[in-house]
Every structure is written in structure tokens, then in C-alpha cells.
A and B are shown apart, each in its own frame.
Chain A
Amino acid sequence: MASDPTRRAVVAAAAALPLLIAGCKGTQALGTPPVPAPDVARLRAAIRAEQDLVASYQALLGRPGAGRGAEYAILTAVLTEHQDHLHQLRDRLIPGSPRAAGSAPLPRPRAAALPGDPRQALGELLRAERAASDRLLSQVPEVPSALAQLFASISASEATHVLALHAAGAA
């Protein structure tokens, strides 16, 4: 049934019409497991990447002696922006039935294994930001336009985090 919200996870802000068409195909193919729309898979991947970045910053800021100086303030500001990214990305995903292939629960956030040396750890985060920015940028042509704008904007934000991490002393 095309109007059954439990059939699949959907990309929220992205193009109602293609989703309705996809829903009709699902109706014709009753009995086969629903295949997640590629847009949903890309959105879920972006959410996973974002929640892992959030966990990584939280792990670094939670270290004993993380301090309260300028570096702490920079990292806290960047963490807040990642939490905003995550909120916006999640807002565009409506999860459906856990049985649907495209709507399995998202994995738990996983912090990166960061080196003990603070400057090296910041360097790892810098590389993670750069990779996340490039990944989102590369997907801009693949997703519906409203999601493309969000991906482009978040990609740009993550590129600017590289500047912030340099300022915080990343090696």
C-alpha cells in the first residue's frame, strides 16, 4: 500500500512524486522485501557519519584534562554544529517498519579511535572532517534538490571545521 508509512523509510524533504512512484512499484511487487530508495541509503549514510563525528568530539572533550581554554571553546562550537547537522539530517528521515530493509535501526554512534596526543587527535578529526565534506559533496548530484542543498551546505561547514581545527592546534 503506497500510503502505508510502515513500508519503508523515506527521505523527508526530498521530492514527493518520486517517492509516490516508488511506493506504487512496491505495491506491484508485494511479497518481495522493500528495497531502500537510494536517497534513503545516502541519507542514512550521512546520518551515520554525522553521529560518529559527534561521538568523536564528545570523546575528545570528555577526556580528563581536556581543559576550558580557547581550544576547548573551538571544539565545543564545532561539536554543536555537528549536532545541528545531525538534527537536520534526521529530520528528513522518517523511519518505517524495522522489518523493511531500508529502515533497520541506525547503528549506535561510534567514536573514532583517536591518538592520545591531543594535537595528533585533532589531526585525526581534521582528516575525518575533510573526508566527510568530500563524501557529501560527491553525492550532491545524486540526491533530490532539497537534500542536495543541505548536503552542499553541510559539506561546506565541515570544510570550514578544518580551519577551526588548525586554529585549535591540529597536527
Chain B
Amino acid sequence: MAAGSQAAGSQAAGGGTAEVRALQAALAAEQAAIYGYGVVGAHLAGNALAAATTDWTAHQEAADRLRAELQDRGASPAPAAVAYALPHRVSTARQAVALAELLEERVTSAYLGLVALPGPQVRMLGARQVRAAALRAAAWRGTTVAFPGLTTAALARAAARRQIP
């Protein structure tokens, strides 16, 4: 089961607007990442552990920002779950790195949800975090991708919406 999708954020107290829903979804992804990096760090050492610690701190700060954004909108930030089901077994450094990649990819997708909203401020918040998460994902993966956070299906759907006025 996906770590991100089990977050308690699905109960989103305090708001039904698209903006609040997207912020809660991003917060849920951040909370799952914070939990996941705890597991990642436990299997790493040296420079890799230092990188995991830096990334864990970045996710803590990003979650704080999202909580503040939700509170500014009169919504209650959903609490983190007590525990998250990991998407795969993690008992080696290689598996820990694979988990870090996956966590970042899910965070990237969640922030792209903010980019689709009308508000310019929340869009920019989303876009900056898409970039930050894509950079962390690429650093763990060791390679780059053409469309961080977007699936092939999402690209096809967007292309199918072509209109000739």
C-alpha cells in the first residue's frame, strides 16, 4: 500500500475548497515522506545518511509551511498517521535509496496538484516544491526524468484536451 495514500490527511478537517484539499494532500505526502525518511536513514551511513537527514529536515520545513497555509485558510491541518505501510521491504541500503526515490516522486506529484489551482501564490508554492522534490529524487536515483510528477497517462489526457476554437 502506498505510504502517501494512507495518511490521516484524507479526513481533512476544516475545509472543502479545492485549495484546502490540495494542501492537505501535499501535507499527507510530506508526512509520509517524514516517516519514510526515518526508515531510509536507519539503513544508510556516511554521506548517504547525511543526505537523508538533510532531506528529512526539508520535508519537516515543507510540512510546517503547509500547516501554516492551511491555518491561514481557516482549515485544520490533518495530523500525521501513527505509522505508514511501506511500499516495499526495506532491509538494505539499496532498498532504502529506492524508498527515498519513491517518496520524492509522490511528493512531486502531490505538489503538482497545487500548480493546477487558480491562485498564483499557491501555484508558485507548488511549483517550487515540485522542483525541490525532483532535485532530491534525481540525486537519489542518479538519473533525470523528462516529466517529474507527471505520468504518461496524465500527459496523454492533457494532450487529448486540444481544442480548436
Binding site for B on A (CB under 8 A): 2-3, 5, 7-8, 10, 12-13, 16, 19-20, 22-23, 77-78, 80-81, 84-85, 88, 91-92, 94, 133, 137, 140-141, 145-146, 148-157, 159-161, 163-164
Q: How far is the CB of B154 from chain A (nearest CB, A)?
A: 8
Are B162 and A156 in contact, CB atoms less than 8 angstroms apart?
no
Are A156 and B161 interface neighbours, CB within 8 A? no
Q: Is the interface of A mostly helix, strand, loop or mixed?
A: helix
> Is the beta-carbon distance between A163 and B135 smaller than 8 angstroms?
yes
Select from chain B the residue with minimum beta-carbon distance to A81: B146
Closest chain A residue to B160, Cβ basis:
A13
What is the count of residue pairs linking A and B with beta-carbon distances less than 8 angstroms? 131
B163 at the interface (CB under 8 A from A): yes
Query: What residues of chain A lie closer than 8 Å to B126, measured between beta carbons?
Result: 152
**Bound form: Cα–Cα A165–B127 in Å:** 22
Assuming the contacts A10-B163, A145-B117, asked whether A84 and B131 have C-beta atoms less than 8 A apart, the reply is no
A6 → B minimal CB distance (Å): 10
The smallest C-beta distance from B118 to any residue of chain A, in angstroms, reads 7
Across the interface, do A148 and B116 meet the contact criterion of CB distance under 8 Å? yes
Do residues B147 and A163 form an inter-chain contact, with CB atoms below 8 A? no
Give 12 A-B contacts (CB < 8 Å), ordered by A residue.
Answer: A2-B165, A3-B164, A3-B165, A81-B145, A84-B147, A152-B112, A152-B149, A155-B131, A156-B134, A157-B144, A159-B134, A164-B144
Q: In the bound complex, do residue A153 and residue B165 qualify as a contact, i.e. CB atoms below 8 Å apart?
A: no
> Which of the four size classes fits the interface of chain B?
35 or more
Residues of B within 8 A of A92 (CB): 158-159, 162
Contact partner of A19 (CB less than 8 A), chosen from B135, B148, B149, B163, is: B163
Q: Which of B130, B135, B138, B163 interacts with A152 by CB under 8 Å?
A: B130
Q: Which residue numbers of B lie inside 8 Å of A, CB to CB?
A: 108, 112, 115-118, 120-121, 123-124, 126-128, 130-131, 133-135, 137-139, 143-150, 155, 158-159, 161-165
Bound CA–CA A159/B145 (angstroms):
11
Chain B residue contacts of A10, Cβ below 8 A = 163-165
Q: Which residues of A contact B158 (CB under 8 A)?
A: 13, 92, 146, 149-150
Which B residues are in CB contact (< 8 Å) with A8?
165
Residue contact B148 to A149, C-beta cutoff 8 Å? no
Min CB–CB distance A140 → chain B (angstroms): 4
- Decide: B116 and A145 in contact? CB cutoff 8 A: yes
CB distance from A166 to the nearest CB of B (A): 11
- Cα distance, A20 to B163, chains bound together (Å): 9
